[in-house]
Structure 1
Amino acid sequence: MKNTVSLFVVVLIVAAGFTGCQKLNLNPQSWLNSASMRSQSPDEDDDSSELEKFETKVETPFIGEYTQITGKNLIALQGVGLVTGLNGTGGNPPPSVHREALLREMRRRGVKNPNQILRSPSTALVIVKAYLPPLIRKGETFDVEVYLPGNSEATSLDGGWLMESYLAEQAMIQGRGLLKGHILAKAEGSILIPPMSEEDRKKGTSGLLRRGRILAGGASLAEDRDLALYLRNDFKSIRNAQRIANRIGSRFYHFDKYGIEEPLAEAKTDKKVVLKLKPRYKHNDSRYLQVVRYIAFRETDVAQRVRMQKLTDEIKIPEKAERASIELEAIGKKSIPILKAALKSPLLEVRFHAAVALAYLDDGSGIKDLAEAAREEPAFRVYALAAMSALDEPEAHLHLRELMSMTSAETRYGAFRALWTLDKNDPFIRGEDMNGQFLLHVLQTELETVTTHDPNAKPGGPKNGGPMIHITHRKHPEVVLFGSEQEFRVPLTVRAGKVLITGAPGVEELTVSKYAVDEPLQRKLVSKNIAVVIRTAVEMGASYPDIAQMILQAHQP
């Protein structure tokens, strides 16, 4: 039975917004002209003229026209760290600012004989780099990269463990050396080197063994990162900042532990409004920002009704459906009837955009259409699955479970990730903690039967997608087995770090053993079931990178 390793990277793309304006050509013309000539400055009173009560314009000013969003930037972090547990591939680092920095940190921590430790072939000095993501909360994790300096005597980080290191904003200033800023994170964990064949590993493929990644190895020590809106210079004022905060707060809010409603926007200065993320948009913050930009800065009830009528027509046009759905989502729950009506369209693109907006309005009427979009159209798949993960409804669980049995590896893992976001304890996907290093998910997809159209299915192929193994190389250290009955083929000889797995031709059991200096021999006979072998190897001390490499070796012909 062939095992495959599939990678799935979700990229969220912010669709470019555009603005436009139209006027209703209503009679009498003289009355319309007098109503339309009022000031458009956002600093004017909304009730400055009685004529505004009869405003019939569709030229609605949006918040995005007066503001610029910040806080989506990555913050580059760097530090120096010590990797231990290397199998003779370490080395004494030459004199450098990095060595001096590491020695100072080791002395500060009370480490005895730091120079002797650095000279050991089982240790290596590494540069630790990471990017603090936007919207991260204090204590949340992120990926970290480590690499050997160019002049290092060490040759490989394979099997290494990064000791706890601190990361800060740093800059190399001529004449002043390496200057550190505030410490914003710490990092620690086992190092995952890029996947490679055993042949490439023996060749010592250029540079690949000298760098690696620690999945979720960084933890933020900084205060929560929020978004901010900055008013244009020609519109900035305390009053306008407060009005923008009020408009956003009336649309997006949450309840504190006492049940008191709190707006998610707060005016801080005459030009800055701090914006918190609505939890429903946690996995699609770009959508959240689009919706915020299309919240009306000022609009009468009559003007809003006229605009909604215009959007009712536009959402049925594929070229305009995305923009129309975002505007309707920004208006709020009163737009739900319009979006539900769009679900009757024969065009998948129209139904998809309407269903996404409904999902973020906490309405599951479009779940079936989101599942269809994820299944049939690759361009919609990421967004459809993200929207489904925002709907904690039984129907969403059922559709995601069926999508995990599709032929497309991208669809299967995407559906798994969406269901995991909805409910980590769902019995079908619940993971096993492997010594705190990673999660092992064993899905019984062999018991599933797909009843809907599978666009990638081949004649005579399995009706449940067949067996598949997914190993992550970013964010979440996990192994997902699509099919609980998958087995290793014999003959087999693979390694999981210091753990050796062997099986002669025709045997029904594999031998899992570990030989290590100053440790008793460990040896165990287990079935060929992949999940059983993984559990046994971890019990003997195998790490997540070890398991990933083991599976890759077994997959090679």
Structure 2
Amino acid sequence: MQVRRPSTSSPERQHVDATTEASDSRRSFLKLCASSLIFGSTLSGCHELNIKRWFDDEEAMRLNVQEAIRGEDGHSKLIGDYIKIADSTLGYIKVQGVGLVTRLDGTGEDPPISPLRTRLLDDIRREEIDDPNSLLRSSETSLVVVTAYIPPIARKGDRLDVEITIPDGSETVSLKGGWLMPCRLSEHALLEGQVHKGNEVVYATGPILIDGLFEDSTGSSVASRKGVIPSGAVYSGPDRILTVAIRSDYRRVRMSTHLASRIGQRFHDYDKHGIRRPLATAKSNAHLELIVQERYRNNYPRFLQCVRHITLTESPVEKHLRMQDLGERIMFGPTSEQAALQLEAEGSEGVPALKRALNSPSPEARFRAAEALAYLGKPECATELKEAARNEPAFRIFALAALACLQTGETISALEELMHEESLETRYGAFRSLSTLAPDDPIVQGIPMDGEFRMHLIDSTATPFVHLTRRKKPEVVLFGAEQEFQLPMTIRAGSRILIRGNTLDNSVDVKRVAAGEEDKTLTVSARIAEVVKAATDLGASYPDIVQMLVEAKNQSNLPGKIAIDEMPKPGRVYHRVPEDFANAENANGSTSSSPATIGSDGLMPNLFTEQSNKTIVTEAPEVSDPKEAGMEPNGIIVE
């Protein structure tokens, strides 16, 4: 049998095989290199395109900013076209807490076990109150949700209104006569899927003014389950600053610093060392921060309007021509608003043209000029603003706000005169302006009451009326200091004070009757001011006094009307008169006689701002000790 041996290759054959293998390896390597080069070149090309596009965008923005600052054609001259006021800076920040209302007349409840109750117990224990569970079980107490809103430009120490509501499912019947125990409020935020509690920045307490006090005897019981505490909270957080965003196609450091410089040249103040401080700061290439000048403190929307009408840049010749044109446009009603704002934005250089416009035949032009002059600190505005507030409802709110920004003899006299007008909103609006402008003026200073409010006696010659407030501050304003109740009368001031008027001697007995106390009676005249003083001396709170006066009104015991938050409004229609078109040839032929809406809710002076219809924003708070949280049906977030 033939045995086949394993074949062996010759050296030549082995060399050929090795050469072939090496060749195959080189081909594979070259293919891989080629693929890598192709892929790499593709990536490199994309990268180069991205870099090129980025440099092109940057160059385009740089040229855009350069041309705008140089004032070249195609770019606006006004700062307002390069900025946007951030929505978050103009909104209200909502803060909440869980509180305990006491002093109820058996209308409270023992709250059921819930996260709200747990949080309230923790807060009560922090106050070192003995046996908190026993306190919660009383029918004289109720668990409530406490809400406040921090307004734009709020400062540490500012007073805030407080809203009180009862949680869903609560069996509390009424909050009438209730007092909110000290309660801390904080903001909450949703961060990374969890609800976190922010710092406690508001402290609230005080007597509750229930909504039901303003209802008649058939009013819904729901109104007695919610209420407010006017000026019942103190803000302890950091000052809120106005933030201005720069348009995306102009976001460069050069533009932000130029904008801040231009605004700072117009608006500035002085620090404690007397060094001039601009009120605008460039914080980045994308936004600025503004501090509101003190004269605009009670009308910051006007401040923002003025900022928007500052010029970005212009040559001396351009400025001369523009000022000449504005001097003509301010005399004509339909164009006077924009002209007045630009002249106001110029500062002292705009004053001569504005003063000339006070003699315009156009009522609208005279009002616009006077309004701008007030914010420029010129007392010549007083007479025209007084007439605007008196005669034109559409101008009224803005005229009164302008008078409130300038403390001179002329403006104070104008406001004092307006408190004798028959219009209720004019009278109270003038009072609000004067009490803000000069709170220590003897006419509006008022008398502090034991019930933590003030009573103001105004010697008005107009029809007597009583004004009450639910917002800003608790006060009773009597327009007609000597007005008296119409007797006979039987009314209450809270559940413990009974008031009876006797027609025989025109006197009023104010009597306190409370369980466990000795009855106390004060006898006074029928003057409303004396009865209010006697009731507060016997322990009546502001809500008790409001109840007393509303009852007297419902029973026809008041000599005149009663009003609650009776203030002028923005957004009213002004019907232009022929005199507004007297200089039509100077306004490009515009002679439209269509009605004009004056202002809007967004331009409402914060001197008169009400809480309703306000934008609520969420700002991430500084989170302290974050924990997972739950959400109750009423919307408050609890730990």
Q: Could you tell me the TM-score, scaled by structure 2's length?
A: 0.74
2:212, 2:221 within 8 Å by CA — same for their partners in 1?
A: no
Q: Of 41, 45, 59, which aligns to 2:64?
A: 41
Equivalent residue for 2:480, pick from 478, 483, 496 = 483
Is the CA contact 2:451–2:542 (under 8 Å) kept in the aligned structure 1? no
Does the residue aligned with 2:65 lie in a helix, a strand or coil?
A: coil
Contact 1:161 1:190 in 2 (8 A): yes
Letter of the structure 2 residue corresponding to residue 426 of structure 1: D
Give per-residue Cα distances to partners, 1:43-90, cap 9 Å, x unaligned: 35967xxxx8xx9x8975221111111211111111100001111111
For the residues of structure 2 that align with 1:206 and 1:436, how far apart are their CA atoms?
26
User: Could you tell me which residue of structure 1 aligns to residue 203 of structure 2?
Assistant: 186
SS of residue in 2 equivalent to 1:217: strand
Of 111, 125, 134 in structure 1, the residue corresponding to residue 143 of structure 2 is 125
Alignment CA distance shift 1:436-1:521 (3 Å): closer
- Residues 222-258 of structure 1: CA deviation (Å, up to 9, x unaligned): 1000101111222112222111111111000111222
Q: CA deviation at 1:130?
A: 1.7
Which amino acid counterpart does residue 83 of structure 2 have in structure 1?
T
Aligned match of 1:473: 470
Partner secondary structure for residue 160 of structure 2:
strand
Where 2:322 maps in the other structure, the secondary structure is helix
Identity value in percent: 44
Superposed displacement of residue 175, structure 1: 9.7
What aligned pairs does 1:54-133 form with structure 2 within 5 A after superposition? 60-70=76-86, 71-133=89-151
Separation (CA, whole Å) in 2 of partners of 1:197 and 1:430: 27
Cα distance in 1 for residues equivalent to 2:427 and 2:76? 42
CA contact (8 A) 1:60 1:299 kept: no
Q: 1:509 aligns with which of 487, 507, 521?
A: 507
Aligned residues of 1:484 and 1:531 also touching (Cα < 8 A):
yes
Residues 175/124 of structure 1: CA separation in 2 closer, same or farther (3 Å cut): farther
In structure 2, C-alpha distance between the alignment counterparts of 1:300 and 1:436, rounded to whole Å: 61
Aligned to 2:530: 532
Q: Is residue 212–residue 224 contact of structure 2 (8 Å, CA) maintained in 1?
A: no
Q: Structure 1: how far apart are the matches of 2:64 and 2:486?
A: 73
2-structure distance, mates of 1:342, 1:361: 15
Contact map agreement 2:457 2:480 (CA 8 A) in 1: yes
**Structure 2 partner of 1:305:** 320
| Alignment-derived partner of residue 323 in structure 1 | 338
Deviates more, 1:187-196 or 1:509-518: 187-196
CA distance in structure 2 between the aligned counterparts of 1:62 and 1:495, rounded to whole angstroms? 60
Greater gyration radius: 2
Match of 1:337 in 2: 352
Shift of 1:174: 13
Q: Which of 334-343 and 99-108 deviates more?
A: 99-108
**Equivalents in 1 of 2:208, 2:68: separation in Å?**
60
Q: Find the aligned partners of 1:244 and 1:220 in 2 and give their Cα distance.
A: 32
Q: Distance in 2 between matches of 1:337 and 1:191?
A: 52
| Aligned counterpart for 2:391 among listed residues 355, 370, 376 | 376
> Where does 1:131-530 land on structure 2 (aligned, <5 Å)?
131-170=149-188, 179-196=196-213, 200=217, 205-435=220-450, 437-445=452-460, 464-497=461-494, 498-530=496-528
Structure 1 or 2: larger helix share? Answer: 2
SS in 2 for 1:207: helix
Amino acid of the structure 2 residue aligned with 1:280? R
Tell me, what secondary structure is at the counterpart of 2:248?
coil
Q: Distance in 2 between matches of 1:185 and 1:489?
A: 43
Structure 2 unaligned blocks of 5 or more: 1-61, 556-639
Q: Distance in 1 between matches of 2:543 and 2:394?
A: 32
Deviation at 1:186, TM superposition (A): 1.6
Paired residue secondary structure (1:41): helix
Structure 2 contact 67–75 (Cα < 8 Å) conserved: no
Checking the alignment, whether the CA contact within 8 Å between 1:494 and 1:554 is kept in structure 2 is: yes
| Cα deviation digits, residues 143-167 of structure 1 (max 9, x gap) | 1100111211211101111111111
Amino acid at match of 1:137: R
Q: Which moved more, 1:186-195 or 1:279-288?
A: 186-195
Mapped partners of 1:179, 1:380: distance in 2: 45
Structure 1 unaligned regions, length at least 5? 1-38, 446-463
**Alignment partners' CA distance in 1, 2:358 and 2:210:** 47
Go from structure 1 to structure 2 and tell me whether the alpha carbon gap of 1:198 and 1:225 turns closer, same or farther (over 3 Å shift): closer
Q: 1:251 to 1:80 in 2, by over 3 A?
A: same
Distance in 2 separating the partners of 1:385 and 1:513: 41
Match of 2:607 in 1: none
Contact kept, 8 Å, 1:494 with 1:550, in 2: the verdict is yes
SS of corresponding position for 1:87: coil
Q: 1:26 — aligned with what?
A: none
Kept after mapping to 2: 8 A contact 1:195/1:549: no
Is the CA contact 2:389–2:397 (under 8 Å) kept in the aligned structure 1? Answer: yes
Aligned residues: 491
What's the CA shift string for 1:4-63, capped at 9, x where partnerless?
xxxxxxxxxxxxxxxxxxxxxxxxxxxxxxxxxxx983335967xxxx8xx9x8975221
Cα displacement (A) at 1:182: 2.6
For residue 499 of structure 2, give the secondary structure of its aligned residue in structure 1: strand
- Letter of the 1:237 partner, please give it: R
Whole-angstrom CA distance in 2 between matches of 1:213 and 1:471 = 13
**In the superposition, relative to structure 1, how do residues 471 and 204 fare at CA in structure 2: closer, same or farther (>3 Å)?**
closer
| Structure 1 residue 407 displacement after superposition | 0.4
Partners of 1:312 and 1:168 in 2: CA distance = 51
CA distance in 2, matches of 1:545, 1:380: 33
Distance in 2 (alpha carbons) for counterparts of 1:174 and 1:258: 45
Q: CA offset at residue 261 of structure 1? A: 1.0
Partner-residue secondary structure (3-state), 1:358 = helix
Deviation at 1:291, TM superposition (A): 0.4
The answer on whether the counterparts of 2:296 and 2:303 sit within 8 Å (CA) in structure 1 is yes
Counterpart contact for 1:58–1:306, Cα < 8 Å = no
After superposition, the Cα gap between the structure-2 partners of 1:242 and 1:199, relative to the gap in structure 1 and judged at 3 Å, is closer
Amino acid at match of 1:287: R
Alpha-carbon distance between aligned partners in 1 of 2:265 and 2:305, rounded to the nearest angstrom: 17
Q: Relative to structure 1, is the Cα distance of residues 502 and 294 closer, same or farther in structure 2, using a 3 angstrom cutoff?
A: same
